[in-house]
Structure 1
Amino acid sequence: MISRDIIPKANLKIRARSRNEIKKGNLYEKIPKKLSKELFNTIVLKNNCKIERIISMGHKTPKGKWYNQNKNEFVMILKGSAELLFFPDKKYPNDTKQEILHNDTKQEILHNDKTSKKTIWLAVFY
């Protein structure tokens, strides 16, 4: 199993200073030109909900390693394409504007980020 907490994160948090203040950001900005690993940015972490931006560039989960989620996850590719593999052998090609919803009993890997171009994901854990 790989814990997402050990992978470096960039600062993308958008925080309002007061309840009446609105902050905005852009999920397509602040993306490094090169990445040695997938990049995970927590945007919102509140109660039992976490919203995360994930950037991959031709990355694959190391062979034999699985992400074992302890929460339900909704994931959508905002830009790019990739393929997810769920244990034991269920492959899901995923392109821009497609989404996948799975429960916490599934183990998943990033089977293949199809290109070396940037793939931008939005993930919601609940």
Structure 2
Amino acid sequence: MLVGNLLKNLAEGDDGESVELLLQQSGIRLERIVSHGERSPDGFWYDQPEDEWVLVLRGFGEIAFADGRHAILKPGDHLLIPAHCRHRVEKTALDEATIWLALFLPRANNNSSDQAEDVAHDAQRD
């Protein structure tokens, strides 16, 4: 048995974003990501072969989608991004660490570009 705390032992200050692999098995990968105001480089888009479920534990993150929609995630908010749904991290909190959990899963057989658009639409927040 392994016990840990996702909110402790964080990289401090402006050390850049840190990614810690928490679990990997049978095509599933779980990461803790700690951001300190980082964002994706201009013009860069993630286009991943797997589905990604993200949860914000602390701070906030704004995800931009290639179709122009945005999702703002605050503590407790989560989002499922289907495989090949182009997205980027637009911004994260500047005044505190943003702690994400990212779960990467094998692509669901029924994913389509329409579903990717639905996810972006459902994630849009004021």
TM-score when scaled to structure 2?
0.78
Check whether the contact 2:11–2:34 (CA below 8 A) recurs between aligned residues: no
Q: Percent identity?
A: 26
Q: Measure, in 2, the Cα distance between the counterparts of 1:50 and 1:70.
A: 13
For 1:70 and 1:35, the matched residues in 2 are separated by 30
CA contact (8 A) 1:54 1:123 kept: yes
Q: Tell me the matched-pair count.
A: 105
- Greater than 6 Å deviation, 4+ residue runs: none
2: CA distance between counterparts of 1:31 and 1:68? 28
Say whether the 8 Å CA contact 1:87–1:108 is kept in structure 2.
Answer: yes
- Structure 1, gaps ≥5 residues long: 1-21
Q: Deviations over 1:53-90 (max 9, x none)?
A: 01001111111111221100110000111110111211
SS in 2 for 1:68: coil
2:42 equivalent among 52, 63, 73: 63
What secondary structure is seen at the aligned counterpart in 1 of 2:95? coil
Change (3 A) 1:78 1:64: same
Higher helix share: 2
1:111 aligns with 2:90: yes
Contact 1:81–1:115 (8 Å) recurs in 2: no
Q: Is the 8 A contact 1:53 1:123 kept in 2?
A: yes
Q: Does 2:102 match 1:123?
A: yes
Q: Residue 26 of structure 2: which of 36, 41, 47 is its match?
A: 47
Find 1:86's aligned residue among 26, 51, 65: 65
